Amino acid sequence: MEFFLDTGIVEEIRGAAPWGIVDGVTTNPSLIAKSGRSQKDVITEICTIIDGPISAEVISTDQEGMINEAKELATLHDNVVVKLPLTEAGIGACKVISGMGIRTNVTLCFSPNQALLAAKAGATYISPFIGRLDDIGHSGVHLIEEIRAIYDNFGYPTKILAASIRHADHVRLMALAGADVATMPIKVMKSLFQHPLTDKGLSSFLADHEKANS
């Protein structure tokens, strides 16, 4: 399973990069806005830190506008993946730019049917928002399981990128459900390291070492 950081804050990415477990980065207009910088500048800098897929989202809502933006974003770096919304225009744009060899991440997916459309349009990634489904009483895990079954049934190469991850247990559930990628905020990635017995064991080892060498 690949781990992506979901952030537009470059400092967070620089801090996590030395761990060696960050395979890529996802951004969106809201995350970029928090950085207070332009999307071009943020994406370009991220590409110098992480050698992996870096998602940058279009702002246009019409198909032609999305295609033009996608072509421009793709020139920023070879690692850029263009994010498109799961709308009629977005799926149409996905089909066109995928045919140009531009990698795509179709976002705001909430149903298996939507995921099927993205795969048929040649999407590189599909981003189901599991946390937002859980928030309204639906099962994000069940959605991932259904998409996995559909893609496996027909051999679609589109990768399932579990998004809107709220906590560490979401990561565990996504891995069990067969998601290819989990994208998460820095606080969730940090929480994956944590367990009280690890802390307790380390404290005990260090205390015993100090006694033995005092």
How confident is the model over 130-180, as pLDDT tens digits?
999 999 999 999 999 999 999 999 999 999 999 999 999 999 999 999 999
Contact predicate 183/6, CB 8 Å: yes
pTM, 2 dp: 0.94
Q: What is the pLDDT of residues 60-85, one digit of tens each?
A: 999 999 999 999 999 999 999 999 99
Q: How far from 95 is each of 118, 142, 163, 192, CA to CA, in Å?
A: 9, 27, 22, 36
Strands 54-57 and 104-109: unpaired
The whole domain housing 34 covers 2-212
**pLDDT tens figures, 185-213:** 999 999 999 988 998 888 888 888 788 88
The active-site residue, picked from 40, 71, 83, 120, is 83
Confirm whether 159 is a catalytic residue.
no
Burial (CB < 10 A; 0-12, 13-18, 19+), residue 37, is middle
Q: What is the CATH classification number for the domain harbouring 205?
A: 3.20.20.70
DSSP β-bridge partners for residue 162: 182
First CA to last CA distance, the chain: 44
Q: What tokens does 196 get?
A: 């009280």
Counting the structural domains of the chain, the total is 1
